[in-house]
Amino acid sequence: MKIGSVLCENNVFLAPMAGITDAVFRIICREMGCGLAYSEMVSAKGISHNNTNTKKMLYVDAAERPSAIQLFGSDPLIMGNMAKVLNDYKDIDILDINMGCPAPKIVKNGEGSALSLDPELAGRVIYAVAENSDKPVTVKIRKGFDDEHINAVEMAKIAEKNGAAAVTLHGRTREQYYSGSADWDIIAKAKDALKNIPLIGNGDIFKPEDAKKMLEYTNCDAVMIGRGAQGNPWIFKRTLHYLDTGELLPEPDMIQKLDMAQRHLKMLVGYKGENIGVKEMRKHIGWYIKGLPHSAEYRVKVNNTAGYENMAAVLCEMKNKGEKLC
């Protein structure tokens, strides 16, 4: 599948998730077959202010390319200027504009999903980025802001008109956050409305069968998996195999999950340092061990454990209960 000039290996993508889709998790998902992994959202203002922590979020490993970095902001001038800056980042292949984040602090600033309430401004932001970027530009939107403002089809058309190379649609409103069910009908309508660019469907893909159903039901060009990949990077390998053969590969067993958690921990500590890496790994381990024997007991241990060696020992202890000595 192509997005502008960028060729993706397949049409099963990893969604941008704040605090989750850092370089380490993106690499793991790409190794599992993910066709394109989007970064967590990066502040355009932060880049313009030369914020050190923001600039670190722009790091892309060669193992994850082609890569997509997601920007958020509502000022067309700043967004356009930052697109120019990112032209010099040769490891970044695609720029994505966040117009779907429901977080209150983002919406309060008129960014993320708040832009759906001002389609004219949204169009100017997209145009500014696309006009100044040497890379293809994609836009991630939601069904609408709330039930009184359902305008995903309009927003998709605006994105295409102003230079977007693809649109991703999450079939929930901002008001829903991640509750209820995603509306796949609106994804189908947006796909029909776009003339020349791909539509990527997002929402409620938790197993391979869901991806197949969304592709068939909406006729979207690609699917994007978010929460379904948390603690479960195998979903990409299993989904691709299912789409290709109709066969469901077995889910990973306890030891495979714990082995991956250990590797993820080691990589994250190597990338972010011991203190931050271990703290951020707590949520990932919680997802890896969900549903495993003694998971409630070990979740408490994980959340109260500091230090790489100590956290590795907790995972080792779980593995020993599964009769695999570390």
Provide CB contacts within 8 A for 234, sequence distance 6+: 32, 251, 252, 256
Helices (H) and strands (E) in the chain, counts: 14, 10
Helices (H), the chain: 23-31, 44-48, 52-56, 76-86, 104-108, 119-132, 152-161, 184-193, 208-218, 234-245, 254-272, 274-288, 295-303, 308-321
The two tokens of residue 203 are 């929402």
Catalytic residue (choose from 29, 101, 220, 316): 101
- The question of whether 101 is a catalytic residue gets the answer yes
Size (the chain), residues = 326
First to last CA, the chain: 42
CA separation for the pair 258, 52 (Å, rounded): 33
Residues designated catalytic: 101
